[in-house]
Amino acid sequence: MSDIKKVVLAYSGGLDTSVIVRWLQDTYNCEVVTFTADIGQGEEVEPAREKAKALGVKEIYIEDLREEYVRDYVFPMFRANTIYEGEYLLGTSIARPLIARRLIEIANETGADAISHGATGKGNDQVRFELGAYALKPGVKVIAPWREWDLNSREKLMAYCDERNIPVEKKKGKSPYSMDANLLHISYEGINLEDPWAEAEEDMWRWSVSPEAAPDQPTYIEVTYEKGDIVAIDGQAMKPHEVLEHLNKVGGDNGIGRIDIVENRYVGMKSRGCYETPGGTIMLRAHRAIESITLDREVAHLKDSIMPRYAEVIYNGYWWSPEREALQALIDKTQEYVNGTVRLKLYKGNVDVVGRKSEDSLFDEKIATFEEDEGAYNQKDAEGFIKLNALRLRIAAGKGRKL
């Protein structure tokens, strides 16, 4: 007899999680609570309610978390100009802490004994969900069916559905790729992408046109920042999730945001994936541009030096960790004067910064000018500066040391 009486499942309504509902009921003889989060995946989430009801689920949570997702997770991450291994904008990684937090909160609300997810035993998501869960509720029981059952193929999953009358749509034309989407990005893995030499097929992409098919005329936009976060586009105030929705649309229309990478998963293997992140690509360029005129040099360089570590913390699933909290406190402190507007030109897959202005700008035209500076900068001061910085080099050279 299992001591698990109730489980909260992260539920999408798709094949895997529909099978998991019945498998949990059969294997643990337990009640299942489903939780479906709308974080901008671009598909209706409400149908998950009827699917869950058909599986005998009594407690069903369906929540619109789009604004919270961008405001409390995506925006804080972009304040650091975060990018993993030089290319990946962490679209999947940053969604997991929010889902993990709500799973634990719902478990507490409903008196559940455990939580469950549909992440496989090969990927990063199992780590992210579970590290978050344990950080927020140390004694929680986590059930990961992919690490327990033998239903390790789509054929076996479909056969399980047929045997137990599980209602699953068999959509014609459904993408063969393993996909994950939210407001920040959409990812593609599997099929021909498992060969790193094979080019991604054009009809795979969902959010963007190819750069070749993008308009022949550039699109200009102006992005306004307050304390490191975008608050308006082209002078129109927007909520955080509205910002990302707008930038995804205009970026996708201009062929922006596609990448094809091989990344190092935390579990040890290399994985090839393709990602579309049009809004995030624009946000990264714009944020660096506004920081370029508002941040002190050493603060900017300090941020750049810790960014890879911060990116790794998020990628590996340690959002709910003391090191992330400490890094975030430093990052957020640097954003106090990151205010102003950036003008961007979007053209055939490119994002060009063509203007930036701020009341908090540290760019001093009188000092930087190549024309007469009226004594704002004494060029003779540079001689002593250079000699002092060269002192150790001169001493070593005088001793005959070779570089």
Q: Annotated catalytic residue: which of 22, 96, 101, 285?
A: 96
Any binding-site annotation on 190? Answer: no
Q: How far is CA 398 from the centre of its chain?
A: 52
**Closest-CA residue to 289 (of 353, 208, 365):** 353
**Closest-CA residue to 81 (of 393, 292, 316):** 292
Any binding-site annotation on 15? Answer: yes
Any binding-site annotation on 271? Answer: no
Any binding-site annotation on 12? Answer: yes
**Closest-CA residue to 337 (of 289, 276, 293):** 293
Any binding-site annotation on 16? Answer: yes
Burial class (CB in 10 A: 0-12, 13-18, 19+), 11: buried
Burial class (CB in 10 A: 0-12, 13-18, 19+), 83: middle
Any binding-site annotation on 91? Answer: no
CA distance 10 to 116: 6
Q: Annotated catalytic residue: which of 38, 113, 125, 180?
A: 125
CA distance 369 to 348: 34
Any binding-site annotation on 318? Answer: no
Any binding-site annotation on 358? Answer: no
The C-alpha angle 301, 79, 222, rounded to 5 degrees, equals 105
Any binding-site annotation on 216? Answer: no
**Closest-CA residue to 233 (of 245, 223, 241):** 223
Any binding-site annotation on 125? Answer: yes
Any binding-site annotation on 294? Answer: no
Any binding-site annotation on 27? Answer: no
Q: Annotated catalytic residue: which of 71, 72, 178, 324?
A: 178
Any binding-site annotation on 120? Answer: yes
Any binding-site annotation on 118? Answer: yes
Any binding-site annotation on 159? Answer: no
Any binding-site annotation on 14? Answer: yes
Any binding-site annotation on 88? Answer: yes
Q: Is 173 left (phi over 0), alpha (psi -120 to 50) or beta?
A: left
Query: Is 352 marked active-site?
Result: no
**Closest-CA residue to 93 (of 127, 143, 55):** 127
Any binding-site annotation on 321? Answer: no
Query: Is 96 marked active-site?
Result: yes
C-beta separation of 49 from 62 below 8 A: yes
CA distance 164 to 148: 19
Query: Is 16 marked active-site?
Result: yes
Query: Is 102 marked active-site?
Result: no
Sign, CA torsion 315/318/320/323: negative
Q: Which residues are annotated as a binding site for ATP?
A: 10-18, 37, 118
Binding site residue list for L-aspartate: 120, 124-125
Enzyme catalytic residues: 16, 96, 125, 178
Indicate the annotated binding residues for L-citrulline.
88, 93, 124, 128, 178, 187, 263, 275
Residues comprising the binding site? 10-18, 37, 88, 93, 118, 120, 124-125, 128, 178, 187, 263, 275
